[in-house]
Chains A and B, each alone.
Chain A
Amino acid sequence: MITCLQASALISRSFDVQLGGEESRLVEQHTRACPACLRYARELELIRRCCRELVEEALGEGGAPLPEGSRRRLQARLELALQG
């Protein structure tokens, strides 16, 4: 069986690419016997979910507004470009 060090690397990689069949089997076999690595995988899932929520929060309505100075400068620059 692979070690936690190897399993954690594969678990991390599974968040970026589809693991191959053998790699998936090794991770599955390891996490069945290792609560720590299973927990690590769940924690990475939670981090990913919360990152998505941070983006949704930023792009949604109702958050902190653009500072007034920035708003004025952006509007002025845009109007200048529209005229030109």
Chain B
Amino acid sequence: MPEDKPVESNPATWVADHGDALFRFALLRLRDAALAEEAVQDTFLAALRARERFSGLSTERTWLVGILKHKIVDLIRKQSREKPPADPEALERIGEQSFDGEGRWKNGQPDWQVDPSMAQERSEFREVLTECLEELPPRQGEAFAMRELDDLTSEEICKAMGITETNLWVMLHRARLRLRGCIQANWSEGGAEGGAGSGGEGPEDAG
């Protein structure tokens, strides 16, 4: 079924029409096939209960994806393993890892040199990015994924994670620095070779 064509909702064909896409998205977010299946099942059942509210103004796929995103957040909330870092010294620790005593980048490395027009290169880069997303500490990874994959607002993320906006900001900042370092370590030296792991942080040419 074409994704963008408005249709009447027909639950009998949901698995056939949307099962693959919903499962892939859930797997991207949860990184666990059993949990992904659970999220998709919860989505279908919730959609069934709320079926009268489907207006047909958005596509059926868009409507179901919206429900799925909330189900994923519910699952993550249930599985939350770390306490929120209500830590006023967090920024200082970021500084110690990535910057020298004068607040300049340390550990300079070559540029990523990704050419956005090269589809193959971008595809390999996305593989490295996916591996590096998995390397993030759980809470940082969830905050980052809710922002960048689910496109949730700060308010929604804070509510889901039970943290303040300042906590979120620090978490996202740390996640981005860590991601950047991981990508740099696994991409710069000839593309998508080797598994993701810890890497140096910080661009060269610090000013």
Q: Which positions in A face B, CB cutoff 8 Å?
A: 3-6, 8-9, 12-13, 15-17, 30, 33-37, 39-40, 43-44, 46-55, 57-61, 63-67, 70-71, 73-75, 77-79, 81-82
Q: Write the nearest CB–CB distance from A11 to chain B, whole angstroms.
A: 9
* Contact of B15 with A47 in the complex, beta carbons under 8 Å: no
- Could you tell me the distance between the alpha carbons of A50 and B114 in the complex, rounded to whole angstroms? 11
Which residues from chain A contact B37 at a C-beta distance below 8 Å?
70, 73-74
Which residues of B69-108 are within 8 A (CB) of A?
91, 94-95, 98-99, 102-105, 108
Q: Which positions in B face A, CB cutoff 8 Å?
A: 3, 11-12, 14-15, 19-21, 23-25, 27-28, 33, 37, 40-41, 44-45, 48, 61, 65, 91, 94-95, 98-99, 102-105, 108, 111-112, 114, 116, 122, 125-126, 129-130, 147-149, 154, 168-169, 172-173, 176-177, 179-180, 183, 202-207
Name the contact of B99 in the complex, choosing from A3, A47, A55, A60 (C-beta under 8 A): A3
Which residues from chain A contact B12 at a C-beta distance below 8 Å?
78-79, 82
* Contact of B207 with A54 in the complex, beta carbons under 8 Å: no
Q: Write the nearest CB–CB distance from B40 to chain A, whole angstroms.
A: 6
Q: A58-B21, A78-B48 are in contact. Are A40 and B15 (CB under 8 A)?
A: no
* Contact of A33 with B207 in the complex, beta carbons under 8 Å: yes
- Could you tell me the distance between the alpha carbons of A49 and B177 in the complex, rounded to whole angstroms? 17
- Could you tell me the distance between the alpha carbons of A52 and B168 in the complex, rounded to whole angstroms? 20
